[in-house]
């Protein structure tokens, strides 16, 4: 097992244990029904937080490990080059004054030559299937199975957003807690396999360029 695989699997195992532990709390005999109901209302947002946090963590591992390879620009696939360039341009655009932009221009051209990939992935705090697909395109990964995951992942995000805005109108006994627990663990596992395969098959390299729709 490579060091990259070890990091991804460690993150997966840690979050899986926490999700399972959270789900088990509602079965404790020491809790009152009111306490159980309150806990259940916040379980799905917690499951979602683990999903989003996991994707951000393992994508960071992926990009950091690629940076450690110290690849030249001609060795990196166009998708990752574009991801890096977009980040450079957005940072440059923050400087409104010409003199300040002039001071940064050397750094920009140096970055273009050496190619240091940004290691933070934006999820816009709404990691639905569309956002996930966009991340996969930027990192030159194939997307997860839309038929299998798109509807359920979007439902997870909808439950989380409603809870985040204080909408707890759904009866507690109707909350799909077990379903969402299983979904998040499966999503994390699938994405982990996806990312490990991409790294082991050098999907980041120029000869492995893929086009996204």
Q: What total of structural domains would you count in the chain?
A: 1
Q: Cα-flanking dihedrals φ and ψ of residue 98, to 5°?
A: -60, -40
Q: Which residues contact 104 (CB under 8 A, 6 or more apart)?
A: 91, 92, 95
10 Å CB burial of residue 45 (0-12, 13-18, 19+) is: middle
In a domain, 87, yes or no: yes
Q: pLDDT band at residue 212, thresholds of 50, 70 and 90?
A: very low
Residue 213 predicted with pLDDT over 50 = no
* pLDDT for residue 109: 64
The mean pLDDT of 3-22, rounded to a whole number, is: 97
Q: Which of 1-5, 63-67, 70-74, 136-140 has the lowest mean pLDDT?
A: 70-74
Percent pLDDT > 70 in the chain is 85
- CA gap 20, 181 in Å, rounded: 8
In a domain, 213, yes or no: no
Question: What dihedral angle (degrees, nearest 10) is formed by the CA atoms of 123, 183, 146, 144?
Answer: 70
* pLDDT for residue 143: 85
- CA gap 65, 137 in Å, rounded: 18
Average pLDDT, the chain: 87
* pLDDT for residue 108: 65
**What tens digit of pLDDT does each residue of 70-87 get?**
888 889 999 998 898 887
- What Å distances lie between residue 169 and 18, 41, 76, 163, 166, CA to CA? 26, 10, 49, 9, 9
Three-state DSSP class for residue 69 = coil
In a domain, 80, yes or no: yes
In a domain, 81, yes or no: yes
**What tens digit of pLDDT does each residue of 73-129 get?**
889 999 998 898 887 677 666 777 777 767 666 666 666 666 789 999 999 889 999
Structural domain that includes position 196: 3-208
**Which neighbouring-strand residues pair with 205?**
76
Q: Record the pTM.
A: 0.87
Residue 132 predicted with pLDDT over 90 = yes
């Amino acid at each position: 097992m490579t060091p990259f695989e070890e990091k991804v699997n460690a993150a997966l195992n840690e979050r899986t244990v926490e999700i399972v532990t959270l789900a088990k709390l509602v079965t404790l005999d020491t809790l009152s029904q009111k306490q159980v109901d309150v806990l259940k209302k916040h379980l799905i947002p917690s499951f979602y937080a683990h999903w989003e946090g996991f994707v951000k963590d393992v994508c960071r591992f992926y990009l950091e490990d690629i940076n450690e390879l110290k690849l030249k620009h001609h060795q990196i696939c166009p998708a990752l080059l574009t991801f890096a360039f977009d980040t450079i341009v957005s940072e440059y655009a923050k400087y409104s004054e010409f003199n300040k932009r002039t001071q940064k221009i050397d750094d920009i051209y140096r970055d273009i030559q050496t190619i240091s990939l940004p290691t933070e992935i934006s999820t816009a705090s709404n990691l639905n299937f569309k956002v996930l697909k966009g991340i996969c395109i930027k990192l030159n990964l194939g997307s997860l199975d839309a038929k299998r995951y798109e509807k359920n992942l979007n439902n997870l995000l909808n439950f989380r957003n409603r809870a985040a805005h204080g909408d707890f109108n759904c009866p507690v006994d109707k909350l799909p807690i077990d379903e969402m627990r299983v979904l998040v663990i499966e999503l994390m596992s699938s994405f982990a396999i996806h990312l490990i395969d991409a790294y082991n098959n050098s999907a980041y390299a120029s000869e492995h360029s893929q086009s996204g729709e």
